[in-house]
Amino acid sequence: AQYFTWYLCLLPLCNLKGTKRSGWVVWILAMLVWLGNAYLLEIRGFVSSNHASDTYRLTFAASILFFCANLYLFKTIISPTTNKKETKQKTL
């Protein structure tokens, strides 16, 4: 999990007051799915069994899911600030 959390130290620099909680929930669930598949692959050793191709496919799918969850989280962090800027420009 440490490979995916390096940017959390930058979050205090963001204005998180308008961030939706759903972004964090999706991110945590996607990380748990990815870590579960990585556990099966690395620790349980499903590579040497007949489940290897399924485990690789599930880990790849979990990686795509986690990437999409990161994009959604970043969108929820950034969108409140862009909405405020757009509102200010419309009033001018």
The counts of H helices and E strands in the chain are 2, 0
Distances (CA, A) of 88 to 13, 16, 22, 83, 92: 22, 19, 26, 9, 7
**What is the spatial distance between Cα 23 and Cα 38, in angstroms, rounded to a whole number?**
22
In this predicted structure, what is the pLDDT of residue 43? 81
In this predicted structure, what is the pLDDT of residue 3? 67
**CA count, 13 A, side-chain hemisphere, 42:** 7
pLDDT, one tens digit for every residue, the chain (92 residues) = 566 667 667 766 666 666 677 888 888 899 899 888 888 888 877 655 565 577 788 888 999 999 999 899 888 877 765 555 555 566 65
Helix (H) or strand (E) holding 73: helix 52-91
In this predicted structure, what is the pLDDT of residue 17? 66
In this predicted structure, what is the pLDDT of residue 12? 66
CA of residue 66 relative to chain centroid, distance:
5
What is the model's pTM?
A: 0.67
